[in-house]
Amino acid sequence: MNRYALIESSVVTNVILWDGNTEMWQPPEGTTAVEVTADAGPAYIGGTYVDGHFTLPPDSTE
């Protein structure tokens, strides 16, 4: 099992553990599953995924 971020319109909507087997499960329509790797950086719900890299979500205290 690997960590995958579910991406919708460049925004991380969820982070899941998944074996990548699309015969058993597929991401919901309009969502893309992207494997979270060291090269891409950590994925956080509310953050973004652009050009192969994850970014932190906006600071909600501002």
32-41 pLDDT tens trace: 999 999 999 9
pLDDT band at 58 (very low <50, low <70, confident <90, very high): confident
Query: Residue 43's pLDDT is what?
Result: 97
| Closest C-alpha among 32, 29, 5 to residue 17 | 5
């991380």: which residue's tokens? 12
What dihedral angle (degrees, nearest 10) is formed by the CA atoms of 21, 53, 44, 12? -60
* Residue 12 domain boundaries: 2-55
Q: Residue 14: pLDDT band by 50, 70, 90 thresholds?
A: very high
- Neighbouring CB atoms inside 10 A of 8's CB total 14
- Residue 62 domain-assigned (yes or no): no
Give me the number of domains the chain comprises.
1
Per-residue pLDDT at 35: 97
In a domain, 61, yes or no: no
pTM for the model: 0.89
Could you tell me if residue 41 is inside a domain? yes
